[in-house]
C-alpha cells in the first residue's frame, strides 16, 4: 500500500483492553471511522457506548469492512489466531488483497516474520508497530511507536499511527519493531530492578527512600523508574501503573530470544529475567509490574515505608 490512509477512513481495531480502548478513542478523536472487536462483549459494549464505532458480528466481517486493521492483543499467538484462525472466522477471510494488518501488540519478532509470510501469500501486508508509554500515554495519545516492515507502507499508515502516538519510528524490516519493544522493556526492567535494590539498600543504611529517589533523579543514576514509577506508584505503594508483571516477563523472554537469535551473549538479561520470573511466581502474572518491589523487599527482609502520593 502506498496510498496515504487519512481520516475519515474506517480503521479496524481488535483488542480493547487497557491500551486498546484509549487508542481507539484517539483514532475516533482524530476523525477516523472505527470497526472494533474484542473477546469481551462487555468491552465492545462499553466502547460503543462511549464513541461512534461499528461492531461487526465477526472477524471476517470486520476485515471485509476495513483496508487497515490494528491488533492490540496479549501475545503473538493470539494475533496469529485472530489474523489467520483455524476456520472461516479470521481477519484474513475478509480482508481484500492490498490490505494492511498492523500488529501493535508485544509479539515475538520471529513469529511476526512467520505471520508476515503467511499473510503475504494472501496479498495482505503485515506491519509490526508495538508501543511504549503505558496506559497514561495511550490515553493522551503520546505513545512512542516502533514500526517495522515495508517503509512505503509505514508512510502510508503514518497518519493512523500519529493519531495514537507522539513519536513514530520506522525501526527496520518486519519484526524490528517487536524486537525493539522487547529490548526497550529489558532496559526498563533492568532499570527498575537496579532502582529497587538501590532504594532498599539506602533505606536500610538510614537514608529516606524519597531522598534517595530525589538524588538519583538529580544525578547520573536517574531512569524512567526513578523519575516516574517510584514517585507515582512505588513509594505511595499504589502499584497501579497499568502494566503487569506477566507482560514484563514475556517481553524479557522475547528480548533474550532476540539476543540468542543473533548469538549475542546477554548474561545481565538472563539474571534480570530470572528475578522478574521469581516476582511473577510470588505475585502472580496479573500483578502490576511496579508491585515487583515486593520481590526485592522479600530478598532484603525489609519493607519501604508508604509515602502518600503528592
Question: What is the C-alpha to C-alpha distance for residues 310 and 308, in angstroms, rounded to an integer?
Answer: 6
Q: Which of 60, 117, 166, 181 is catalytic?
A: 181
Structural contact between residues 100 and 12, judged by C-beta atoms closer than 8 angstroms: no
Question: What is the C-alpha to C-alpha distance for residues 129 and 19, in angstroms, rounded to an integer?
Answer: 14
Terminal CA-CA length for the chain:
48
Angle between helices 109-120 and 245-261 (to 10 degrees): 80
| CA 173 to centroid of chain Cα atoms | 19
Q: What is the dihedral of CA 167, 128, 84, 186, to 10 degrees?
A: -100
Q: Write down the H helix ranges in the chain.
A: 20-29, 41-50, 59-65, 76-83, 91-94, 109-120, 134-140, 151-162, 176-205, 209-217, 224, 245-261, 267-283, 293-300
How would you class 152 by CB atoms within 10 Å of its CB: exposed for 0-12, middle for 13-18, buried for 19 or more? Answer: exposed
Question: What is the C-alpha to C-alpha distance for residues 183 and 188, in angstroms, rounded to an integer?
Answer: 9
**Closest by alpha carbon to 64, among 25, 85, 90, 32?**
90
Question: What is the C-alpha to C-alpha distance for residues 82 and 105, in angstroms, rounded to an integer?
Answer: 12
Which grid coordinates are listed for 30? 482524530
Is 181 labeled as catalytic in the residue annotation? yes
| Active site members | 181
Amino acid at each position: 500500500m502506498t496510498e496515504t490512509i487519512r481520516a475519515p477512513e474506517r480503521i479496524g481495531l481488535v483488542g480493547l483492553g487497557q491500551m486498546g480502548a484509549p487508542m481507539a478513542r484517539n483514532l475516533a478523536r482524530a476523525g477516523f471511522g472505527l470497526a472494533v472487536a474484542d473477546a469481551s462483549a462487555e468491552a465492545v459494549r462499553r466502547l460503543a457506548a462511549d464513541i461512534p464505532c461499528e461492531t461487526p458480528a465477526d472477524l471476517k466481517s470486520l476485515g471485509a469492512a476495513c483496508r487497515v486493521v490494528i491488533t492490540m492483543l496479549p501475545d503473538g499467538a493470539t494475533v496469529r489466531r485472530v489474523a489467520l484462525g483455524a476456520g472461516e472466522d479470521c481477519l484474513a477471510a475478509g480482508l481484500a488483497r492490498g490490505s494492511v494488518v498492523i500488529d501493535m501488540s508485544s509479539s515475538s519478532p520471529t513469529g511476526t516474520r512467520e505471520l508476515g509470510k503467511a499473510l503475504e501469500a494472501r496479498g495482505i501486508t503485515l506491519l509490526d508497530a508495538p508501543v511504549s508509554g503505558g496506559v497514561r500515554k495511550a490515553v493522551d495519545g503520546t505513545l512512542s511507536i516502533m514500526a517495522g516492515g515495508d517503509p512505503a507502507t509505514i508512510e502510508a499508515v503514518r497518519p493512523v499511527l500519529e493519531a495514537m502516538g507522539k513519536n513514530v519510528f520506522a525501526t527496520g524490516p518486519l519484526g524490528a519493531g517487536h524486537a525493539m519493544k522487547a529490548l526497550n522493556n529489558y532496559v526498563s526492567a533492568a532499570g527498575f530492578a537496579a532502582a529497587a535494590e538501590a532504594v532498599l539498600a539506602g533505606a536500610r543504611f538510614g537514608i529516606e527512600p524519597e531522598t534517595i529517589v530525589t538524588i538519583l533523579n538529580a544525578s547520573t543514576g536517574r531512569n524512567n523508574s526513578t523519575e516516574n514509577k517510584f514517585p507515582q506508584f512505588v513509594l505511595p505503594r499504589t502499584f497501579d501503573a497499568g502494566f503487569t508483571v506477566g507482560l514484563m516477563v514475556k517481553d524479557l523472554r522475547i528480548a533474550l530470544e532476540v539476543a540468542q537469535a543473533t548469538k549475542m551473549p546477554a548474561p545481565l538479561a538472563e539474571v534480570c529475567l530470572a528475578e522478574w520470573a521469581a516476582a511473577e511466581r510470588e505475585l502472580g502474572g496479573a500483578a502490576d509490574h511496579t508491585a515487583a518491589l515486593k520481590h526485592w523487599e522479600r530478598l532484603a527482609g525489609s519493607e519501604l515505608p508508604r509515602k502518600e502520593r503528592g
